[in-house]
Structure 1
Amino acid sequence: MSEELITINKFYDIYLDLKMKIETYHYQTGSLLPSEKTLADVYKVSRETIRKALTMLLEEGYIQKKQGKGSIVLDIKRLNFPFSGLTSFKEIQEAQNIQSETILVKNKRELAPKFLTNQLDLAPSQQVISLVRLRKISGEVVILDKDYLIDDKIRSIPSQAAKDSLYAYLESELHMNISYAKKIFVVEPATREDRQLMDLKNDTHVVVVKGEVYLEDTRLFQYTESRHRLDRFEFVEFARRKHSAP
């Protein structure tokens, strides 16, 4: 292995270790990370390698550099439900230790609904697998997930896979390379279905994230709607301004 590749592996491994320690609150929000010199001694690397790892944390929104102080740990709770990422509910649940229950309401192969054939320009005879899942958190159903799997390669979805992790099944069992998604974020009046299946209390509207999900070869394979109770979720994207070089 070349010296350059070893260096890359080192700073990336350090980045992952520090990231994990921030996410598990080993380093608390608002606290300072150890100094570059201390980290270099701990990881037995050069300060330049530490700087590269810290730069990755900076760009990902985990720390903020403050002159004369060092690296301040930022509040990572704002990343609880990333809007821009292509992340399954199961992955978010495990990363943030959310105690929840998934209730599978529907798992059926059927003709694509008319709104979908119109929106995606599909043939009227297009078949899809329609999944409806409820996410129950703290005893209340606060998310209604509706998925339509369009790719003909997907003939059926085992109910346990639908309840556990759809993407894990598609990637590990069907070897599908899920790549990117187009999403929109809207607030809509609650439907009769929302009121029947979710614990909306007196809410008249729900937050909806609609997405078209594509494979690595650019084929559309999934349309999804994730419908959320207003008071339980906040979608926040970390943004950092990139300054032009002088």
Structure 2
Amino acid sequence: MTKSKFRLIYDELAQEIQKGNRKANDLLPSENELAETYQASRETIRKALKLLSEHGYIQKVQGKGSIVLDISKIDFPISGLVSFKELADKMGKRARTTVVSIERQRINEFLKEHLQTQESEEVWSVVRVREIDQEKIILDKDFLRAEIVPSLTKEVCEQSIYAYLEKELGLVVSFAKKEITVEEPTEEDLKLLDLEGYSTIVVVKSHVYLDDARLFQYTESRHRPDKFRFVDFARRVR
């Protein structure tokens, strides 16, 4: 299937930004200049720029033009419950998920403490690697109570577990308690991630609750430190 003209222009500009040929805060050429360069209509150029904006490569600023964004770091909200799929949808082809393993297992002492459950319970253990711009930079380790989530498939885990819980099982994911630490990489981190020689890894540990206050998930999201900004909005209480 032949790609449309605006897709080809998008791909070329996206690659230039990924390779650093167009740097953060640079202005892209005007629509007229791009139209001349690519021998395309302004409408085609607008479609390509719209896709670049949707995938987080540029920000269109009225009166200035299209400004290249810093794609070396990805904003991850601290207070919000945002799935990687929701983040990936904004990034288009830049993001990909690989399911390393999925299994139902008897709870151990470590998970018993984190999920506050009985020894007789079972949990789903899901390990996924998140890839952005062809670099493996996040290792997600999820543990979900099988009593609440009775079935889980590789296909669901490749897409969005939260979307499955909410749309298929009718559950309402409500809030999470999070802890952020900086740790030494484990052998598993070194094996599964492209750590580029980094000697530390940022770990976000989350205890996630449903709207009826049931704790149903414990997650460790392990991030390569150079790729993320953890952001939040703070208001002073008077």
* Alignment-derived partner of residue 199 in structure 2: 204
Deviations 1:165-204 (A, max 9, x none): 1111111111111111111111111111111111112112
Contact 2:88 2:96 in 1 (8 A): no
Q: Displacement, 1:29?
A: 8.9
SS of the aligned residue for 1:161 comes to helix
RMSD: 2.7
Q: Which residue is 2:171 aligned to?
A: 176
Q: Label 1:240 to 1:114 Cα distance change in 2 as closer, same or farther (>3 A).
A: same
Deviation, structure 1 residue 126: 1.9
- Cα distance in structure 2, aligned partners of 1:29 and 1:150: 49
Q: Which residue of 1 aligns with 2:61?
A: 28
Give matches, 1:219-230, under 5 Å. Answer: 219-230=214-225
Note if contact 1:184-1:210 (Cα within 8 Å) is conserved in structure 2: yes
Amino acid at match of 1:192: E
Contact 1:80-1:96 at 8 Å conserved across structures:
no
Once the two structures are TM-superposed, the CA of residue 231 in structure 1 deviates from its matched residue by: 0.8
In the aligned structure 2, how far is the partner of 1:162 from the partner of 1:126? 21
Report how many residues are paired.
179
CA distance in 1, matches of 2:109, 2:232: 33
How far the C-alpha of 1:125 sits from its partner, in A, is: 2.2
TM-score by length of 2: 0.67
Instruction: Name the aligned partner's letter for residue 112 of structure 2.
Output: T
Measured at CA, do residues 176 and 29 of structure 1 come closer, stay the same or move farther in structure 2, by a change above 3 Å? farther
Tell me how far apart the structure 1 counterparts of residues 150 and 109 of structure 2 sit (CA, whole Å).
Answer: 20
1:99 to 91, 94, 101: 94
Kept in 2, the 8 Å contact 1:79–1:236? The answer is no
Q: 1:109 and 1:194 mapped to 2: Cα distance?
A: 22
Q: In the TM superposition, what is the alpha-carbon distance from 1:140 to its structure 2 partner? A: 1.4
Query: Take 2:164 and 2:115, find their aligned partners in 1: how far apart are those partners?
Result: 25
Q: Is the 8 A contact 1:132 1:146 kept in 2?
A: yes
Where does residue 236 of structure 1 map in the other structure?
231
The residue that corresponds to 1:58 in the other structure is none
TM-score, normalised to structure 1, is 0.65
Q: Which amino acid aligns with 1:202?
A: G
Same amino acid, percent of matched pairs = 44
